Amino acid sequence: MTANLLEFDASGLERFFAGLGEKPFRSRQVLRWMHQRGAGDFAQMSDLAKSLRANLEAQACIAAPAVAGDTVAADGTRKWLLKVDGANAVEAVFIPEPRRGTLCVSSHAGCTLDCAFCSTGKQGFNRNLSTGEIIGQLWLANRFLGAGERITNVVMMGMGEPCLNLDNVIPALRLMLDDNAYGLSRRRVTVSTSGVLPGMERLREECPVALAVSLHAPTDALRDRLVPVNRRYPLRELLKACRRYLDAAPRDFITFEYVMLDGVNDGEDQARALVAIAGQVKSKFNLIPFNAFPGAEFRRSSPDRIRRFADVLARAGLTVTTRRTRGGDVDAACGQLAGEVADRTRRSAAHQGRPVIVLEQRP
Ligand code: SAH
Ligand code: SF4
């Protein structure tokens, strides 16, 4: 069987090369060819012995997902639809800014969790992405980006819940950090989780990168409804896990994401309740204006309500920013990623019966 070399982190590739009777430095050369120079075939790897190249051609391949769509939004945000198998496709999004370029990466085809306001959740779930399918998103984006565009930051904020796929996500994170691969600092790689506690603990132990936690509500009653995984891992435990994560984190704060849903979680009282609980953790708040999708049951909070909510947090001494919606015109904004998921749960069918309220999509 041919081995897809995108599936390996540095130590995995070294083991594969040892199996071929090759020295570790050869595996590092190949790692650099693939991830730094974007090589997709062994013939390019001119500093390898011909015999090794022939051997690799016989036993290995470099196979990324197939690009099925490539859309650029008016603001330059670029979204790729990537076919990961015959039935499933996921999305990756590049967000250019003046001094940085952020790639938003998916970890699953669909999501097992079912947050009330998330388009991915509504699609149901098919499967975990493999390490090669996750790192393949960086590999492909690098090939497609134009001169002057560079991935300086990665956020695991695409489709899926990274903390439920750490067997495959951690090797991909290691490649993002590896000097022979993408060489990003831990501070520039962020995992976003809806609060899967065992995953947060494992990440802390094995590969602490920057952490964002999707908080979205100041009480268990509301969070149970919006982020159902809260029923399993309630706020008190979540906040404790956040404090613990900070022991190992590359940054001295956790980012709390908070989606702004009109009349649901965006009141000033709710902001005050949030101050009371979040004050326990060194954190920065990132308010995300809700992005609509067909069938969504929420509306985005008005700019005025968002401002008043942010003011309560800021007056209490918390750092708060409001995320600017990017790529909304091509459905590339937070929570709009849908790809194509051959749902193995019954969830997508259940959601189809709902009334469809299509809200304004542009910022
Ligand atoms: N599963 C992870 C990461 C993917 S979602 C998580 O939930 O954290 C990335 C962020 O987008 C999360 O904070 C998520 O709550 C938010 N999000 C989901 N749907 C959204 C929507 N419709 N509008 C705005 N943000 C949304
Ligand atoms: Fe899954 Fe995150 Fe969407 Fe919730 S918000 S359904 S955890 S992708």
pLDDT digits (tens, 9 = 90+) for 98-115: 999 999 999 999 999 999
- In this prediction the pTM is 0.94
Q: What is the pLDDT of residue 155?
A: 98
Q: What is the pLDDT of residue 328?
A: 79
**Ligand 1 centroid vs 40 CA: distance in angstroms?**
32
Residue 288 Cβ < 6 Å to ligand 2:
no
Any idea which fold 66-351 has? TIM Barrel (3.20.20)
**Ligand 2 centroid vs 206 CA: distance in angstroms?**
23
Instruction: Report the CATH architecture of 3-61.
Output: Orthogonal Bundle (1.10)
Question: Does position 79 have pLDDT exceeding 80, yes or no?
Answer: yes
pLDDT tens-digit map of 330-357: 887 777 777 888 888 877 777 654 433 2
**Amino acid (one-letter) located at 223:** R
Task: Give the whole-number percent of the chain exceeding pLDDT 90.
Answer: 84
Q: Are 200 and 281 in contact (CB under 8 A)?
A: no
> CA-CA distance, 129 to 110, in Å (whole number)?
10
Mean pLDDT, residues 239-267: 97
Annotated active-site residue 91? The verdict is yes
pLDDT tens-digit map of 198-237: 999 999 999 999 999 999 999 999 999 999 999 999 999 9
Q: What is the pLDDT of residue 341?
A: 86
Question: What does the buried/exposed string (b/e) look like for 146-183 if buried means 16 or more CB atoms within 10 Å of the residue's CB?
Answer: eeeeebebbbbbbbbbbbbbbebbbbbbbbbbbebbbe
* Structural domain boundaries in the chain: 3-61, 66-351
Q: What is the pLDDT of residue 57?
A: 96
> CA-CA distance, 93 to 114, in Å (whole number)?
21
- Ligand 1 binding pocket (C-beta < 6 A) is 115, 117-119, 157, 161, 192-194, 214, 257, 259, 288, 290-291, 334-335
Q: Are 246 and 211 in contact (CB under 8 A)?
A: no
Among 7, 91, 161, 340, the active-site one is 91
**Ligand 2 centroid vs 187 CA: distance in angstroms?**
23
Please tell me the residue having the least CA distance from ligand 1 atom 21: 335
Question: Does position 170 have pLDDT exceeding 60, yes or no?
Answer: yes
**Among 108-112, 119-123, 260-264, which stretch is predicted with the lowest mean pLDDT?**
119-123
Mean pLDDT, residues 183-194: 98
